Amino acid sequence: MPRSTSLSRTSAPPWAEAVASWTGRIVQAVAFWLVLALILLLFAPGFVRTVSDWLAVLNLPTYPSVFSVVLVGVIASGLLRRQRAALWFVVLLWQLPVAVLGLAVGLLWVFDDDKQALRSDGLVLSPLEIASWVVAVVAVVLLIAARSAFPAKVSKGAWWRAILVLVVGVGLSALITLLLLEVVPNTLHGIRNRVNWSLSVATGLAPSDYPLHADGTGPAWLALVAGLISALALVLAIAVFMRSAPHDAKVEAADELAVRKLLLEHPSDDSLEYFATRWDRSAVFSQDQRAAISYRVISGVCLAAGDPIGDKASWPDAIEQWRAHARRFGWVPAVLSTSELGAKAFQAVDLHPIALGDEAIINTRTFNLDGPAMRSVRHAVARPEREGYRVLVRRQAEIAPDELAKLVAVADEWRHGEERGFSMSLSRLGDPADPREMIVSAHDADGNPRGLLSFVPWGRRGLSLDVMRRHPQAVSGVTEFMVTELVAAGRGMGIDRISMNFAMFRGSFEQGARIGATPVQRFNRRVLLIASRFWQLDSLYKSNEKYLPDWKPRLLCYQNAGQLTQVIFAVGQAEGFLPNTPNLLHRRDRSPDLHRPEISAAFADAVRAQETALLTVSAPTRRLTEQQATRHAKLGVLRAAGMEPYPVSVPRTVSIGEAVRRGAHVPDGGAPAGASTSPGDVAPGGDLSVVGRVVRLRDHGGVIFADLREGTDEIQVMFTADRPGPDLALWRRAVDLGDQVSVTGDLTRSRRGELSLHGTAWCMASKALTSPPDKHRGLADAEAKVRLKHMELALDTRTAQVLRGRSAAVKSLRDSLAAREFIEVETPILQRVHGGANARPFTTHINAYDVDLYLRIAPELFLKRLAIGGVGKVFELGRNFRNEGADATHNPEFTSLEAYQAYGDYTSMRVLTRDLIIEAAVAVHGEPISRRADGTVVRLDGEWPVHTVHGAVSRAVGQEVTPDTPLQTLQAICEEKGVHWTPTMTHGAIVTELYDAFVEGQTVEPTFYTDFPLETSPLTRTHRRDPRLAERWDLVAFGAELGTAYSELIDPVDQRERLTQQSLLAAAGDPEAMEVDEEFLSALEFAMPPTGGLGIGVDRVYMMLIGASIRETLAFPFVRPSGRG
């Protein structure tokens, strides 16, 4: 079963944690001193002796020897890893004997009045000895009390095995030393002195110290040899002692199934997540089983790889469980190749991240082989294409078993050296437990395999590279050919991203190769290039860089600096850069049993069943409100009564509006004039059937009333108990407000004289499962009105009238132009070049041609090409798109009318525009008026004022502004009026700013502003009298621009110069500048006749006619997605 570690078993009080931490640091510091002292001993033995004597107060081996260095270093490592064995070693062998001696001496000092016993032993109490006794007593008490901070235990039987190895090794060292003393010069006399000296140098003790005191000395080189032999024995003993417990294959299989389930339920942005299923990894899970850490123990390091997997909310608990698990067994926790997101999670628990390198990720949606930067890849791909190579891209499950076995065999055959990798390698190509693995194979013209790539799944829409192989005799470029074909095929398979190789130290390579790199950066790069001769660092970087990938950093996390060397050594072993620990130091691992055919087959079946269940997309269960549940229940009521809630057709002989018109002839009393006046009399024409939405319901017991609405018309229907036919009980049980019902009956009038359809039958036309808003307040919220447009239209008469009025206005514009012999055309909405106006475009991408496109901002350039071709009068009324936000007068998509007339100019287009708008006003209101929001009526049939832009600005700012006004004067006016300007703005740009600030927004009645500065109108003809101006006007009314018109620029040379200038602005970063449209310029060179062109914002014209905002005039204005800020 997936396991988690009880934190209570590994937790300790803060003071105990502090004792454990400082104990490890102190012993580690002594180990560093011993290493240094071993070197200084050759040059300054007196200094070493002095320092060692002072450090002896810690009761640790402080005299330098190879044995003591290894012993203290290993114990320091065990203390830092919180191994209880290291704790008891320090307490029992180093501190307790000294503490007992100190306590004994202390008791003698207290109870022996004349101190005779102390004198008889010749004991001289020095301050250092007294200090060492105090340290020992305090250390024993503190360490025993803080033993809960050392939870790591060793495997069963490790004690006696390690002691046996150590005793045999040290005994062998002492025996060899004793034998050599018989043949080498020495000053040791007698067998007792030689034995004591041999034992002392073999155990790392000073030969002059008690209890192995020896008179005389042996050669220094012999002491070094003895220390080396003992140190080797100690290393072997520690290796045996620290062996990990064997793995259980059944537990591993259960863990992997649970890991795979998390991968499917919680796909992440970590491309390495699937490698958590490697068979040499184990997993620790959060307590809620919703997250896990995948790890492997290597040389005492609990090495996790990649980010935690599963629910991000459970990551912190999974990390704590993993750390507690490592702590329990005395492993050093470390994380390899985690992402920045994962590093933040590990950093939160005091692990320290350092950069390792970067991972190359190809985005299939933006990958473009035609770009200039991809030239090397194109050339590489061309060679295998010429040789007749082909590439197959398939899921492993789609490949026949025989073919798959052949691909696995050739992949092994093509491999150079041993399989390496841990964090980014699965090491089980072709395993039946990986049916979703993507296999990319390259085959020559004869069908022989020549290259192979395999990718593990990365979520549902990504792949991560696992295996890369090529035949030794394959043509060059076969790998690039497979990668590019995978990208092309991946788009159609829903693959968005592909993780390629990992480039270690990529930043150093890149920085060192830059112009202006510092000497340190260049030096780092040279060192890495030398290392690349052995470990392919530079080649991996370059093999990925050519695809122009997105680089995502990968980091290493470690616990403290003292363990970093051990962590790096374990990482080198895991990734295959360093040799593994010899097998003789490891117990047989039972996990390979998982690879037995019968276990693998059963496991693969379980994997496939789990993936099938979790990858099958199921519709989410909808949560219904109490009101919705009630309405859903009524569907069953209707069907149980034999009435279909959503029938194919229902009785309907007339509309509600027609029924109301017929009812005008029904007099009070309920019957036509001259007929019987009883309420049940039938109106002329017999029974009628109408269909409408129930907007009001009233039940008076014997009589039921309901108001039905169709469009903007309403009628009351009435059911009475005395009339046979209608099922009133079913009506009461099944009909709600908002339902569409069909009612058949005759027209009559109620006792109050209200026209009613007296029902004889009814049926459900469509059952409403959503309740309408409050019948009195309606949709009061403006945002709700936009989101629930269907409901507002069904229930609000004015909204329906606005919609119909817009239709009338649009129809009028079309009819008016058609009456003047203009023809309507449709031009492309998807365009390769954005032009026709200065605006920020929307972008999209066409997969069929792998080309970026724009949604058109204006149809102008295409319409002009038609005009060049001889279409003298042409217009288009359609949608345009500008990525410029939304407000009361702007919508990202809008309707515009553009028209062009040969041999016209901006004056003739001004007359046409006025006529079109007046005719549209008549179509909407029946007369040439505009109704404002406050009910004010403005007549439009008078003359519309015409003013020049400079004249209007002059009147607005109170001083004359002309094309001759100095730029400094315009800047001073801006300063005085508080209008923003920049030193780079031209004369025309500043005039336009003043116009926008003081003219356009203050204009009420429809007004034409003419003759704009030339530099603001790149598609407009130069003014015939003043070359600094353009023949252009803007129509403004009630503070908003309604349209614009030009005398079109038909000079192809001038037009090319202006569009080239626009393209330079675009290259400089102006997102609204137009691009050069070579197809349009080429067409213009074919000669365009003098032409007038106009553009009218249809939305704004209708806003002006009815006095509404743009949201009110559009059927479906853009609205911010719900649930987003």
pLDDT band at residue 328 under the 50/70/90 scheme: confident
CA 277, 571, 529, 513 torsion-angle sign: positive
According to the model, what pLDDT value does residue 1086 have?
A: 93
CA 393 to CA 463: how far, in whole Å? 12
Q: What is the DSSP letter of 244?
A: P
Q: Indicate the CATH number for domain 802-945+1005-1113.
A: 3.30.930.10
Give yes or no for residue 627 having a pLDDT over 50.
yes
According to the model, what pLDDT value does residue 582 have?
A: 54
* 654 touches 689 (CB < 8 A): yes
Q: How many CB atoms lie within 10 A of CB 494?
A: 10
Please choose, from the candidates 842, 884, 886, the residue with its C-alpha nearest in 3D space to the C-alpha of residue 1118.
Answer: 886
Q: Which residue has better confidence, 791 or 211?
A: 791
Q: Which residue has better confidence, 899 or 46?
A: 899
* 846 touches 886 (CB < 8 A): no
Q: How far apart are the first and last CA of the chain?
A: 42
Identify the helix (H) or strand (E) that includes residue 305.
strand 301-305
CA 33 to chain centre: 50
Q: Worst-scoring range by mean pLDDT, 357-361, 520-524, 854-858, 898-902?
A: 520-524
Give yes or no for residue 55 having a pLDDT over 90.
no
| DSSP reduced 3-state for 922 | helix
Identify the helix (H) or strand (E) that includes residue 603.
helix 597-615
Question: Which residues face 852 on adjacent strands?
Answer: 845
According to the model, what pLDDT value does residue 528 have?
A: 58
Give yes or no for residue 133 having a pLDDT over 80.
no
CA 1048 to CA 1063: how far, in whole Å? 20
Region of 179 on the Ramachandran plot (φ > 0 left; ψ -120 to 50 alpha; else beta): alpha
Q: Which of 252-261, 383-392, 879-888 has the highest mean pLDDT?
A: 383-392
Between helices 220-241 and 158-181, what is the axis angle to 10°? 170
Q: What is the average pLDDT across 514-536? A: 64
Q: What is the average pLDDT across 843-861? A: 84
Residue 32, CA distances (Å) to 73, 160, 164, 752, 1081 in order? 8, 29, 28, 107, 78
Q: Worst-scoring range by mean pLDDT, 10-24, 795-809, 1012-1026?
A: 10-24
**Nearby residues of 1041 by Cβ (< 8 Å), 6 or more positions away:** 1000, 1034, 1035, 1097, 1100
Give the chain's mean pLDDT: 82
Structure tokens at 989: 């740009």
Nearest-Å Rg of the Cα atoms of the chain is 45
Q: What is the average pLDDT across 413-435? A: 74
Q: What is the average pLDDT across 829-842? A: 80
According to the model, what pLDDT value does residue 535 have?
A: 58
- Tens digits of per-residue pLDDT, 942-975? 999 999 999 999 999 999 999 999 999 999 999 9
- Tens digits of per-residue pLDDT, 669-724? 554 433 333 443 444 446 899 999 999 999 988 899 999 999 889 999 999 988 87
Q: Which residue has better confidence, 549 or 692?
A: 692
Question: Domains of the chain: which residue ranges?
Answer: 7-241, 249-351+578-614, 365-495, 626-772, 802-945+1005-1113
Q: Worst-scoring range by mean pLDDT, 546-550, 647-651, 1023-1027?
A: 546-550
According to the model, what pLDDT value does residue 159 have?
A: 67
* 567 touches 77 (CB < 8 A): no
**Nearby residues of 501 by Cβ (< 8 Å), 6 or more positions away:** 359, 360, 424, 465, 468, 540, 543, 544
Please choose, from the candidates 430, 393, 439, the residue with its C-alpha nearest in 3D space to the C-alpha of residue 408.
Answer: 430
- Tens digits of per-residue pLDDT, 767-820? 999 888 865 566 666 666 777 777 777 777 888 888 899 999 999 999 999 999
Give yes or no for residue 992 having a pLDDT over 80.
yes
| DSSP reduced 3-state for 989 | helix
| DSSP reduced 3-state for 87 | helix
Largest CA distance in the chain: 154
CA 646 to CA 629: how far, in whole Å? 18
Q: Which of 319-323, 417-421, 798-802 has the highest mean pLDDT?
A: 319-323
User: Is 2.40.50.140 the CATH number for 626-772?
Assistant: yes
Structure tokens at 490: 């991946």
* 679 touches 661 (CB < 8 A): no
According to the model, what pLDDT value does residue 48 have?
A: 79
Alpha-helical runs (H) found in 288-362: 315-329, 340-347
3-state DSSP of 109-173: HHHCCCCHHHHHCCCCCCHHHHHHHHHHHHHHHHHHHCHHHCCECCCCCHHHHHHHHHHHHHHHH
Q: Which residue has better confidence, 675 or 479?
A: 479
Place of tokens 């004591």: 196
**Nearby residues of 765 by Cβ (< 8 Å), 6 or more positions away:** 647, 650, 691, 739, 740, 741, 742
According to the model, what pLDDT value does residue 472 have?
A: 87
Give yes or no for residue 591 having a pLDDT over 50.
no
- Tens digits of per-residue pLDDT, 863-913? 999 999 999 999 999 998 888 766 666 788 889 999 999 999 999 999 999
Q: Which residue has better confidence, 600 or 414?
A: 414
Q: Indicate the CATH number for domain 365-495.
A: 3.40.630.30
Q: What is the average pLDDT across 214-239? A: 74
Give yes or no for residue 1005 having a pLDDT over 90.
yes
**Nearby residues of 479 by Cβ (< 8 Å), 6 or more positions away:** 451, 453, 468, 470, 543
pLDDT band at residue 661 under the 50/70/90 scheme: very high
Q: What is the average pLDDT across 641-645? A: 94
CA 417 to CA 534: how far, in whole Å? 13
Q: What is the average pLDDT across 209-232? A: 72
CA 774 to CA 706: how far, in whole Å? 16
Give yes or no for residue 1037 having a pLDDT over 90.
yes
Give yes or no for residue 237 having a pLDDT over 80.
no
According to the model, what pLDDT value does residue 642 have?
A: 93
Q: What is the average pLDDT across 1070-1076? A: 66
CA 671 to CA 658: how far, in whole Å? 18
Q: Worst-scoring range by mean pLDDT, 125-134, 299-308, 440-449, 619-628?
A: 125-134
Give yes or no for residue 244 having a pLDDT over 50.
no
**Nearby residues of 436 by Cβ (< 8 Å), 6 or more positions away:** 395, 396, 397, 457, 611
CA 52 to chain centre: 58
CA 500 to chain centre: 18
CA 389 to CA 1062: how far, in whole Å? 46
CA 186, 189, 193, 198 torsion-angle sign: positive
Give yes or no for residue 589 having a pLDDT over 50.
no
Give yes or no for residue 994 having a pLDDT over 90.
yes
Above pLDDT 70, what percent of the chain?
83
Q: What is the average pLDDT across 502-511? A: 63
Above pLDDT 90, what percent of the chain?
34
Q: How many CB atoms lie within 10 A of CB 154?
A: 20
